[in-house]
Structure 1
């Protein structure tokens, strides 16, 4: 390493042109070297200054060498050994040489390398080489080494990438949770709508059943069963050879002879008398045109054209006609004359035979 001691001053000797210590005859005739723009060659390739005269090749060259070595030594010492802790290097040159040295900024190729406002004695290396590449942000975070600063920036970038990945995962999880919650809410709404619809239908069915019950209750007040103390022995539609049509056309209420026979509803007696296999038969026409046939009676208490009311006695149970025992054979015919099931018709009126 270069020493920081001041360079010794070189003795300056005066030479005459008659007895030159160096150079040739041409050099002796040059005299004092005063570089001008015309005396300098255009710079090509590396920066070189044209040497003119013996003094330029020897005295000035040696002085320049001393100056260059001193400068590089100062820069090297400042950069490698941290110029903050070392005093500046002092370089001395004879005044006669120093006064004739050109300004460094005016030399070809040197002006662009030096800032116009820089001071001549500004240190070329103000900080250690290990701090190269450290930004102001690194310095604020306490980084004093380029490697440590690079490591810190890599770790910071990794942390940032990890944070971005975590944010993406969190966003994806939140999106999935929101979609799941929306699906669950939709399913709950669908289930609620189904339950509401089912409850509505149930309520409607209950209301309808209640209305029907009320209707039947009212009908029951105006409709009654044709007799009492009975047993159902044959129903509508039963097949058998004992019936001329091949099947039973009514509903049989077996009861003791003389049991009262009642009008199931108010109406008009259209006929009352003997009717062959039916024995004594009474036909009661209701207000809607429906006909009720009371057959096999032992006796009748009404006549054709008579108005009767619900529950009024119109005859007695017997065994007349084609029978095997005392009973009331009841048939129901529509206004068009078609025979229907008396059991279904009575139930429609709120009665259960």
Structure 2
């Protein structure tokens, strides 16, 4: 049997030259002996070292894939796998130590990729362009729905406002029409009332004109001096009880209306007085006459002469004192108003 030659001993700390294969290198060293301790072999918690591999695309693709998955998960799960299986919890390591390395790898991957191509994010074939397009399309759809809802709400508000404005306009128009109708009724009532008053006035004027043909003023060429109700000490009652027509002595006194002579003669402070009783019982007293032309019981007509103006009795000058006593009463009324009611205007 043959035996193997014993192996030569080697040093783990070459001084300056190391032979590898058929070539020698002088750029490394010096080497030191490594003695592992408890602290040096303790596992690093929360941090993972990533070794940059040269010449292979698998590590770079895996790193890019991991970054893409983490970005998708951090964005809120825009892509969710529908596998039908219950969701599995994923524990992500602390990636703060690999940020720079990931950025470098992504930059190299993008630089090595052809222009116009998208970096693959997963084995499912979803690219960043497609993901961005999907996100954009979803956002546009959401924006479109929001705008549609806003426009619908604005249209509803506008319709309600138009309806309210139409109702307000109709109410205002109804109120204006009612006001106009009330004004028209008021105007018509006023016009009717004015027309009725005018008709009554004309009728009264016609009646008085007709009466004026039946009544006459007691004398002519006169001046009214004292009126009914004037106060004074010269009258025993304290006020004047008739209407005085001042005229020259001898002026004719006429019957105001047809009637019967019921008194004719001296009457104290009234002097010579004639009483004419009309058909309705009204008595007319003609006082202070200078002479009497009729007798008791004589029938007279409107305008007949019954005496002459004088200054007999309690007087200060020639005049006719006329009194009116309805139904032959002791108390007289205003002769002016009575004469006017018969269509006469002294």
Which TM-score applies when normalising by structure 1? 0.59
Instruction: Quote how far apart the aligned CAs of 1:80 are.
Output: 4.9
Counterpart Cα distance in 2 of 1:350 and 1:191: 39
| Alignment partners' CA distance in 2, 1:269 and 1:166 | 95
Instruction: Name the CA shift for 1:81/1:283 in 2 (closer, same or farther; >3 Å).
Output: closer
Q: Deviation of residue 219 (structure 1)? A: 1.1
Quote the residue 1:322 is aligned against.
314
Matched, 1:202 2:194: yes
In the superposition, relative to structure 1, how do residues 276 and 132 fare at CA in structure 2: closer, same or farther (>3 Å)? Answer: same
Change (3 A) 1:45 1:233: closer
Aligned to 1:281: 273
Shift of 1:307: 0.8
- Provide the rounded CA distance (Å) in 2 between the counterparts of 1:341 and 1:74: 128
- Which residue in 1 is equivalent to 2:124? 76
2:338: which partner in 1?
A: 345
Given that 1:130 and 1:146 are in contact with CA atoms closer than 8 Å, whether structure 2 keeps it comes out as: no
1:22-33 pair list within 5 angstroms: none
Shift of 1:129: 7.1
Match 1:229 to one of 221, 230, 247: 221
Q: Deviations over 1:206-231 (max 9, x none)?
A: 22222221111111111111000001
Cα offset, 1:347, TM superposition: 1.1
| 1:1-353 mapped onto 2 (5 Å cutoff) | 76-77=124-125, 80=127, 145-337=137-329, 338-353=331-346
In 2, the alpha carbon distance for the partners of 1:266 and 1:149 equals 114
Q: Which runs of 5+ in 1 are unaligned?
A: 3-43, 47-72, 83-127, 134-143
Distance 2:237 2:128 in 1: 137
Change (3 A) 1:81 1:273: closer
- For the residues of structure 2 that align with 1:347 and 1:329, how far apart are their CA atoms? 17
- 2:283, 2:328 within 8 Å by CA — same for their partners in 1? no
Shift in Å, 1:192: 2.1
- Larger deviation: 313-322 or 148-157? 148-157
Q: How many Å apart are 1:173 and its aligned residue? A: 1.6
Structure-2 separation of matches of 1:284 and 1:306: 9
Equivalenced residue count is 232
Tell me by how many angstroms 1:277 deviates: 2.0
Shift of 1:199: 1.9
- For the Cα contact (< 8 Å) 1:261–1:314, is it kept in 2? yes
- Shift of residue 240, structure 1, vs aligned partner: 2.1
Instruction: Give the TM-score taking structure 2 as reference length.
Output: 0.60
Q: Distance in 2 between matches of 1:45 and 1:242?
A: 135
The CA deviation at 1:164 is 1.1
Q: Write the distance in 2 (CA, Å) between the matches of 1:306 and 1:81.
A: 142
Cα offset, 1:324, TM superposition:
1.7
Measure, in 2, the Cα distance between the counterparts of 1:182 and 1:171.
16
CA distance in 2 between partners of 1:264 and 1:244 (Å): 27
